[in-house]
């Protein structure tokens, strides 16, 4: 599915595969290009390894935005449920920030508070920050 500059939503196609991997998505992106898609401004994707690289290979000017919901779920899986509410309060300060600079400052605060207690939950945000913060460029 794609949304044009005019706001119109188009179903671009339906593809089926036994497994979903970077190679599959590269095939899909190549198909889209061959059918006339000239460029993608922003692609919002899940955390599939290699997906951003597949997009870059076919549509090199595309900005990749990793799905915040997927990253939140991954973080919460790495910690005890007793920390979820407090962690989410702190995490919202990161992804709901008014701009990239404030988000970066809040991410540092999150790392300081939670890095020792739940390092895997926080490391995913730092590791993927470039593609998680794409929407701040708009």
* Cα radius of gyration rounded to whole Å, the chain: 17
* pLDDT band per the 50, 70, 90 thresholds, residue 138: low
Nearest CA to 114 out of 98, 102, 103, 126 is that of 126
In contact, 48 and 29? CB cutoff 8 Å: no
Percent of the chain past pLDDT 90, that is, above it, reads: 81
Expressed as residue numbers, the domain containing 18 is: 2-66
**Tens digit of pLDDT for each residue in 46-97?**
878 788 888 999 999 999 999 999 999 999 999 999 999 999 999 999 999 9
Quick one: 84 and 50 in the same domain?
A: no
Residue 103, domain member (yes or no)? yes
What pTM value is reported for the model? 0.82
Q: Which helix (H) or strand (E) holds 3?
A: strand 2-3
Last residue of one domain, picked from the residues 66, 100, 119: 66
Looking at the structure of the chain, the number of domains it has is 2
**Tens digit of pLDDT for each residue in 89-132?**
999 999 999 999 999 999 999 999 999 999 999 999 999 999 99
Residue 102, domain member (yes or no)? yes
Predicted pLDDT of residue 37: 93
């Amino acid at each position: 599915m794609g949304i044009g500059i005019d706001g119109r939503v188009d179903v671009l196609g339906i593809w089926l595969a036994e497994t979903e991997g970077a190679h599959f998505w590269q095939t899909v992106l190549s198909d889209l290009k061959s059918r006339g898609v000239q460029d993608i401004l922003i692609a919002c994707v899940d955390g599939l390894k290699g997906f951003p690289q597949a997009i870059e290979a076919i549509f090199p000017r595309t900005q990749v935005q990793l799905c915040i919901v997927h990253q939140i779920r991954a973080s919460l899986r790495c910690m005890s449920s007793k920390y979820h509410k407090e962690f989410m309060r702190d995490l919202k300060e990161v992804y709901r920030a008014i701009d990239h600079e404030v988000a970066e400052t809040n991410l540092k605060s999150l790392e300081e508070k939670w890095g020792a207690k739940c390092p895997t939950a926080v490391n995913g945000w730092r590791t993927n920050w470039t593609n998680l913060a794409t929407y701040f460029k708009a």
